[in-house]
Structure 1
Amino acid sequence: MFEIVKQWYQNKFSDPHSVTLLLMLITLAMLLYFFGPFVVPVLVALVIAYLLDWPTAHVQAVVHNRVLATTLIMLLFVGVVLALLLGIVPVLWQQLSNLLQESPHMIEKGKYFLLHLPDDYPNLITTQQVQSFVTTFESKVIELGQVVVSASLTSLKDVVAWLIYLVLVPLLVFFMLKDKVTLTDGIARLVPKDRRLIIQVWHEMDHQIMNYIRGKVFEIIIIGSTTFIAFYILDLRYAALLGALVGLSVLIPFIGAALVTIPVAAVALFQFGVDTQFWTVLIVYGVIQALDGNVLVPLLFSEAVDLNPVYIIVAVLFFGGIWGFWGVFFAIPLASLVKALFNAWSTQWQEPEKPLLKES
């Protein structure tokens, strides 16, 4: 057994480039694990910088000035964010407040519906089963309420931190875009000389991460807007709030769509009952999800690495458990990174060295 492990180690890590890649990965993972909460503004700024780098490069090609191009794109980005905050967020907040006020009545109506199921379907479900389910559900709702209240109280101290982030993140994004070449050259000087495999993995992942972030933003906008329009036409209450939830659910592959089905079905059931309109809402919602998974995602992520759904779900659970929201958001790129690492350690790289990052 020892000989097998020894032979495997010699095959994979006899090359100093492989050892350098492994040590760099371990170092980055430890830094993120122990100091992740302190670098959240940097991670947020990095995501936004990836998103804005493409339009900045195109504007730069027209104005021939990186600083001017960065300034124009940042002004446009800040303007769009402010418009969303002033135009959409108040509507979502009002609908959320109304939904929370009506939630006790909705729960009571759902409880009444469940308690009468044994009368309508005596051969399928018993009164004891319904009572057990209702008791468990009520206890879970109470626990969730306590968690929400405690989270609200503890989050008050983070208000100042969020205000600081609102200033720091745009500044970080601006300088990341403006000084892109200088920053990447400085990072390249920190990387060890035996970096052939590091460059191979970087060039395989850089374009994918940029396409993934940009594609996710487009997917959120398209799915959220389409759902809102469909629910508004069907006269479903809280259409804006539910549309936003459905749009944001695409951040969590597979699992997000399943979770957001619960509030959609609950609101439709409370408003229409078990009627034709209720089933129409669910069918339309199902069609939107099907078009997202089978048409929109292949169009937006055509250049992404083909990963089996099992690997994606495992990546969501694993990286989400380690890094929370950002682990879930980057689950697919991180899974692709793991695949790229296996490819780097399993194949020989024949291309000459390139710069760590090219100018767009």
Structure 2
Amino acid sequence: MTLKIYRVVSDFFHRYFSDEEAVIVFLLFLICFILIYMFGGILTPLLAAVILSYLLSPLVDKLQSYRVPHGLSVIIVFLVFFGVLLVSLLTMVPALIKQISALVSDVPGMMRTFQSQLELLPEKYPDLLSQELVGHWSGSLDLSQIGQQLSAWLPNVVSFSLNTLPAIISVLIYVIVVPLMVFFILKDRDELWSGFKSMLPDQRRLMNEIAIEMNQQIANYIRGKAIEIIIVGGVTFITFTLLGLNYAALLSVLVGFSVLIPYIGATVVTIPVFAIGVFQWGFAPELYWVLIAYLVIQVLDGNVLVPLLFSEAVNLHPVSIIAAVLVFGGLWGFWGIFFAIPLATLVKAIVNAWPSSVISDPTEPADP
């Protein structure tokens, strides 16, 4: 029995780790995994800077194609991007804070309205719902008390999160450190890349094969997701505003960022859209128009916008994508969710490129 186990383990290592480069690749990814898992919070500004550098690199290259010097191209792209970002934040953040404050104050009224609408359902749909069943739901939920608790709890949470010293330090790190790292990554990207390659072995067929497949994949994914968030959020804001839905700005931000979590995000964000619609109109035609418009936006996003933005198709099964979101999101939080699809594609690329030839035992007879 022991000999059989040894033979299985030996065959496994001969099959997958007989190549020296394969061992190096395995150790590199193991080290990266451990570092991100243990020091993910500390490395978050670096990850943010790398993502922004991926977004801005094509703009720098475009300016250089018009014979603009590299240094000047970096300065122009850097100033324009962060200038637009600063103006956008100064415009959006006050409006979002105002809508959040209004939403918090309206929570008790929303709960009472929802409870009254719930009690009217047996009259509208007597064949489906009975008065006793709805009364049981209403009594067990106690929506009015929940609303009062939420309205008292949410302002304390917001105040606590904004006044704590770690939050202030974290904001300062992102505001100061991330732009500096983005500037220097863009300015010295060739030197940084050359220095990284100098630490790798000269023969790196496996690494090159994985890198070529993933470089375009990750770059395309980051830029595509950024554009998708802006388009979906903008279209949602315009649509909800035209339909007269309250808290259109806040809901459009939620809908925009929901595209980061495939399949799950759109389903979860449906809940606040539905709840605010019920609070505002009840179960009236206006609510159904909002839900239909939201469904149309999601359908167009999944079937038109995503194929246009992501030129490099991600050939992953939906179950694999959802599993990747759950696994990497559980390990690394927001960044794990954001990079779930590229990371899943990376795993697939490694599996496809990994050497799998078995080194034959010379004492064994050859197959006929």
Map of 2:93 onto structure 1: 89
- TM superposition outliers: structure 1 runs of 4+ over 6 Å: 136-141
Aligned residue pairs, count: 348
1:61 Cα deviation from its structure 2 partner: 1.4
**SS at the partner of 2:66?**
helix
Map of 1:38 onto structure 2: 42
Map of 1:130 onto structure 2: 137
Inter-CA distance 133–221: structure 2 relative to 1 (3 Å threshold): farther
Map of 1:302 onto structure 2: 311
Match of 1:182 among 156, 174, 191: 191
Map of 2:299 onto structure 1: 290
**SS at the partner of 2:80?**
helix
Alignment of 1:1-360 (within 5 A): 2=5, 3-118=7-122, 120-121=125-126, 124=129, 126-127=133-134, 129-131=136-138, 134-135=141-142, 149=156, 153=160, 156-157=164-165, 158-346=167-355
Asked whether the equivalents of residues 49 and 176 of structure 1 are also in contact (C-alpha less than 8 Å), the reply is: yes
1:347 Cα deviation from its structure 2 partner: 6.4
Inter-CA distance 288–154: structure 2 relative to 1 (3 Å threshold): closer
1:118 Cα deviation from its structure 2 partner: 5.0
**SS at the partner of 1:252?**
coil
Asked whether the equivalents of residues 56 and 69 of structure 1 are also in contact (C-alpha less than 8 Å), the reply is: yes
Indicate the RMSD between aligned Cα atoms, in angstroms.
2.5
Gaps of at least 5 residues in structure 2 are 358-368
Aligned-pair identity in percent equals: 44
1:261 Cα deviation from its structure 2 partner: 0.7
**SS at the partner of 2:313?**
coil
- Which deviates more from structure 2 when the two are superposed, residues 23-32 or residues 106-115? 106-115
In structure 2, C-alpha distance between the alignment counterparts of 1:271 and 1:46, rounded to whole Å: 43
- Which deviates more from structure 2 when the two are superposed, residues 172-181 or residues 33-42? 33-42
Map of 1:353 onto structure 2: none
1:346 Cα deviation from its structure 2 partner: 5.0
In structure 2, C-alpha distance between the alignment counterparts of 1:89 and 1:70, rounded to whole Å: 28
Q: 1:41-93 CA distances to partner (integer Å, 9 max, x unpaired)? A: 11110110001011111011113411110000001101111110122222222
Inter-CA distance 14–69: structure 2 relative to 1 (3 Å threshold): same
Inter-CA distance 95–76: structure 2 relative to 1 (3 Å threshold): same
The residue type paired with residue 251 of structure 2 is L
Asked whether the equivalents of residues 105 and 151 of structure 2 are also in contact (C-alpha less than 8 Å), the reply is: no
In structure 2, C-alpha distance between the alignment counterparts of 1:140 and 1:311, rounded to whole Å: 38
Map of 2:362 onto structure 1: none
Asked whether the equivalents of residues 250 and 257 of structure 1 are also in contact (C-alpha less than 8 Å), the reply is: yes
Inter-CA distance 10–238: structure 2 relative to 1 (3 Å threshold): same
Asked whether the equivalents of residues 112 and 144 of structure 2 are also in contact (C-alpha less than 8 Å), the reply is: no
Inter-CA distance 26–145: structure 2 relative to 1 (3 Å threshold): farther
In structure 1, C-alpha distance between the alignment counterparts of 2:119 and 2:195, rounded to whole Å: 66
**SS at the partner of 1:54?**
helix
Asked whether the equivalents of residues 21 and 195 of structure 1 are also in contact (C-alpha less than 8 Å), the reply is: no
Normalising by structure 1, report the TM-score: 0.89
Inter-CA distance 86–151: structure 2 relative to 1 (3 Å threshold): closer
Gaps of at least 5 residues in structure 1 are 349-360
In structure 1, C-alpha distance between the alignment counterparts of 2:161 and 2:266, rounded to whole Å: 29
In structure 2, C-alpha distance between the alignment counterparts of 1:336 and 1:144, rounded to whole Å: 43
1:254 Cα deviation from its structure 2 partner: 1.1
1:146 Cα deviation from its structure 2 partner: 5.5
Inter-CA distance 128–346: structure 2 relative to 1 (3 Å threshold): farther
